[in-house]
Structure 1
Amino acid sequence: MILNNKILVKNYKCFDSSGGGFEKISPINLIIGKNNSGKSSLVDLIRFIIEKKKEIIESGRDNSNPEVIIEHKLTEQEILRAFPSGTSGGGIPGRNFFEYGKQFIDKTYTYKLEEKGKKTFIHLDAEFVTHARKQIDALAGIINEPLANKIFCNIAAERDILPEETNAEIIFTPNGSGATNAIQQIINRTNRDSRLIEQELLNELNAIINPDIIFTRILVQLKNNNHWEIFFEDANKKSIALSKMGSGIKTVLLVLLNLVVRPVIENKNRNSYVFAFEELENNLHPSLQRRLYNYIRKYSENHSSYFFLTTHSNVVIDAFGTDKNSQLIHVINDGDKSNSTTILSYNGTKQILNDLGIKASDILQCNGVIWVEGPSDRNYINRWIGILAPDLKEGLHYSIMFYGGRLLANLSFDFEWFNNEVIPLLKINKNAFVVLDRDGKTMNAKINDTKNRITKEIGENNSWITKGREIENYLSDKTISDWLLDKHGFKTSFTNDKNTKLEENIANSSKTINLKYNLSKTVFSSEIADYIDKDSLAILDLNENLKNLLSKIREWNE
């Protein structure tokens, strides 16, 4: 079901000539980003791909007309149609056209999609002779664009289900208009099967909202103003008007009208539709969000349907963050233009996220990420930041993630290249900073290849390799001495040798100390942090690196 077509829209609303779009199409495509970042513009792009109506992308930018660009891998069947095996000559080399044309199989063919489905060749990722240009151009007309012959089905972020007058026509609109009329028509008209609403839709509704509430009946009643209204009955025969319910029930009902009812009314297979649902989580409790989106996941699997879902919800992002049939598209606006990045689309990437214990939303929705080896590093960095910049708060201005020493070789900050074995951290959140232990036993010890690679990829200004052997070597002698005495009753003349691990330095300071720092680093580092003060920061290059880190955090927060 994955469509390996790259689709871009350029010079449209918030997207400039660099464009924005999708690296491929997955069964479930989650579009995330802040308000006014361009999420709806990507929904417009999908609508244009399907409906090919000019008015969908008529909003140009910078005096340029919008363009929809598609990249496609050529198939043998397409090549055979453009380069028939029974034809030869005309300046095209080889025994016949196909013998020449088969070199283009699996090559990337780029074309522009215009209104009414017109397609124009732009580029082929292979050289071809001038005499073959006619056949190369003809390929544009032979190729089926992605999502061809599908029906676009949209639910807008602004939506409602209201009482309505009778309308002979059943329509499904993005804002919910017509929903009440559709239900009353199906229930009340003899030419409609009322079981579609009274049984099938009601059962699916209960499956999603259970255990919050269970409805035993759905019905419509005509009010005095000639408007129909939807009512639900519970197990106690109590009738509740939909207009008196929260918007969450209305959202679930709209989803089911489009997924369950609409295909029957329009006499179409469920896989005929491409569903674009915007911010369904609005006014939904997290538990109801999970049930609704799980229903969508199963629907996609069972009916081979494609979904494009815009969202702000961390619940939704995490629900699909490791799903093999989904991908996340992050849209970012810098105040002038937007760009989109397809992330978390490879199983290997998602598995490493799991290994790291990281939720997708933790990375995607924070202002910036400081990557450290483990929780003890976090305790020290937060303490240092708290001393020098008390206005900066973790969880508000930055987040701290753990990469774990053994997993460092599986991480990459390379923006351009990654595969199933690495995590594209910069592509997940471009605001990233990494702190690395030097680990060498002398100040002049060679930095290993992995750390050099990380530093090169992310940039020296976005990385910090400790000058001491480990981050604990930035702790002053007084800090550790005071901690050992106050917290553990050990009085000692402590020296924190910069090329030796803290645990060894503690053991070397007194034979009577049996404390093993590495066995309880998280607990001990939390204790030690309380003994760090501003006077204890003048060690090695600590102040210099902290100033650089604080500058980065302020940049992330503008």
Structure 2
Amino acid sequence: MDNYLKEIEIKGWRSFSPTGVKLKNLKKINLLIGPNNSGKSNIIRFFQSLKYFLTGRPTPNLIAACYMTEKDTWLNLSGDVTGLFKVIHKGEIHNFEIIRKPKENTEILLVDGESTGRSFMNWRHLIVNRISLYTDIRGFVQNTDSNRIEHRFGDTRVSDVIFKRGTYDLEWYKEYIQNMSKWLSKLMNEDVKLEVKLQEYALGQSPYVYDNILSKESKEEEEEFEKKFRFGSRMKRAEFEIRINKGGDELFFEPEELGRGILQFIILLSALYEQKSKEAIVFIEEPETNLHAGAIKELMDILENESLFENHQYFLITHSHAILDKINENYSVYRFEMEESGATSVVSCTTKTDNFSLLDLLGVNPSQMLLSNLVIWVEGPSDRIYINKWIEIYNNKLETNYIEGRNYSFIFYGGSLLDHYYLLDDEGNVDEFIDFLNISRYAAIVCDSDLGDNRTTYKNRVERIRTRLTEKPELNSYIFQWITDGREIENYVPKELFVGVISNKIRKRENFYYAKEKKLHYFSSPNPEMIKEKNFVKDLSFDKFFAEMYIRESELEDEDLKGAIINNISRSFDKVIIANEVVKLWEEQCGLLNSDLDEKMTRLMELIKRANS
């Protein structure tokens, strides 16, 4: 890195007393760790305030009106606030200083002690152009108008940005797709390709970037592009598409279908990739949201080691203890605490015992790695919704009161990510794996059997755990592997509940582009009569089975059209939305209809009881 922050010192800002906080010897990756309400986020809020202040001032104004309120000052006293940043630029240290005086209503900007027009422009370049603040990286927002999970990164839909840039610069887009597909393949242990496409498109128009290339130089084409796609309009937006190669067959998914951790991984890396050519200083708040330990470590490897990001410097504001395993000479770590006076104190952590103190500060005990007594590992968020409902039913049946977050917690492992976990490998061949029992003392691992179609045996990752539990029966006191009797957890749900929800509770699909005829195909409302005489047996895929409700009787003889309808409708089902509606309709007796579900829930409740005894 030729240009980066070497030191940050802030005084008088919010929980930072007049003595201030100082972060010295900053490196490529800088971790700001501490419990809630310890002042970590006030670092990012300070830079946020400077961004607002300087973005609105494109021309030099060295002594400007103060852009703060008394709530931004220490103890709300409206005292002076100062910021001093040591910036390395081509091997030389430069001091950027801002003096903020609310009582005098002034803000003074200096570089190397001087206040000139050039100083202002250097300040503006640093704050506005080089510093990026990612304060909301969950990567999804429920759009109430379209009833879709929207891909968002703060106020930006990253998929829109990637699509638009790809239409201007195809070589950039090809490199982006190649790298994102490589990272996703490694994360998911699958043959994965990522694409970006339009959500909706004109008759005869391809939704993919490759078929919508525009010339940068042509102003008329650019104006036509904006008119054609209207980014920001709900009806003309881009979305990510994941393609997984399964034995020669290419399966298509939206990221959230594979778990919101996958979506977050894509959103964050895509936003950073878009800035790869910049000398960027990036602040990321809670990057671990929705990412399990293996995924957060994979993310950290990419940020640290990929040459694409060699010009980036990162500040991660986090509660995650998993990142501590990655610390090396490229990291600096700072422990944030709140003193009795209400002031934030910051200590640089340079030894292993310092890192132990971080675990204590985060409330991580040596005997556990989560603040719950049992972890239920599930493939995705819809599994959590169903299991929570069934625990509620069995709480009533058994007169117990087990609560998520206190008696048990969930971790999403995203299907193939289960390959990265193991159970007490005595041979020591575990360099690439994470031990379930290092994360919690008790664990339930819920696995879809995926039996059906041409599959008659469990996947290797499921069979490996089952074999291990057979070889070591003593583990059964701590580990319960729940392999679904049907193809997936949805096969436990009575058919009539899905029919009611898909018919009446979720947004209905209106049309799709039928490639064979090169035109839009329009649907009628889903018709339960189309599956009335069919049984929702355990080896059927729930989404494909209930997609048949969209087929008209007149279309039954057209096998190509039927296949296209089932493929498009099944991919449009949002499992999370459907699960939330199903559990609202679930009566207590439904939990006892399936003998395998009753057996599995009885075992799960016994394990929760043991873990909380």
TM-score of the two chains, using structure 1 as the length reference? 0.45
Q: Normalising by the residue count of structure 2, what TM-score does the alignment of the two structures yield? A: 0.41
